[in-house]
Amino acid sequence: MPQKATHAGLDPLASEAFVALLRVAGRLLHDLNAACAEHDITHDQYNVLRILRGVHPQGHPRYEIAARLVSRAPDVTRLLDRLEKRGLVARGWHPENRRLSIARITPAGLALLAAVDPRIDQVAAAYTAHLSETEWRQLGRACQRMLA
């Protein structure tokens, strides 16, 4: 029986797991983007709004939003510009440092998240239903070790 061809430098089991992880990530991002598109936003925009909801009403400076994004977006300023243009985010100056712009989620942004969240939950449920709590803990720990 012929053996599977693998990358010469990677253990076959590690190679198989790596490709499986890439496939899951790709499908998950595709499904999340589709869910967000139903509400006329991108997943990156959803992510920014989610981050700002977490610190509502204080807000965050651009660099803090960039550091917390799930996927590194090359231009957070443009993301914020688009969200601000739609009335989902408001920007102003930090009260103690006038050189620091702070982005805050607006009531319209909170309302949009309330509408999008159930659809995101459906996508997450479709993926999370297949593993036990123990398996999710193990996977979470493994992913944290991979990111360390």
pLDDT digits (tens, 9 = 90+) for 108-119: 999 999 999 999
For residues 148 and 119, the model is more confident at: 119
- What's the structural domain count of the chain? 1
For residues 66 and 11, give the distance between their C-alpha atoms in angstroms, rounded to a whole number: 34
Residue 103 structural domain: 14-147
Binning pLDDT at 50, 70 and 90, where does residue 2 land?
Answer: low
**Does 2 fall in a domain?**
no
In terms of DSSP bridges, do strands 89-93 and 60-61 run parallel, antiparallel, or are they unpaired? Answer: unpaired
CATH of the domain at 63: 1.10.10.10
**Does 28 fall in a domain?**
yes
**Does 124 fall in a domain?**
yes
Q: Residue 105 forms beta bridges with which residues? A: 89
For residues 84 and 140, give the distance between their C-alpha atoms in angstroms, rounded to a whole number: 34
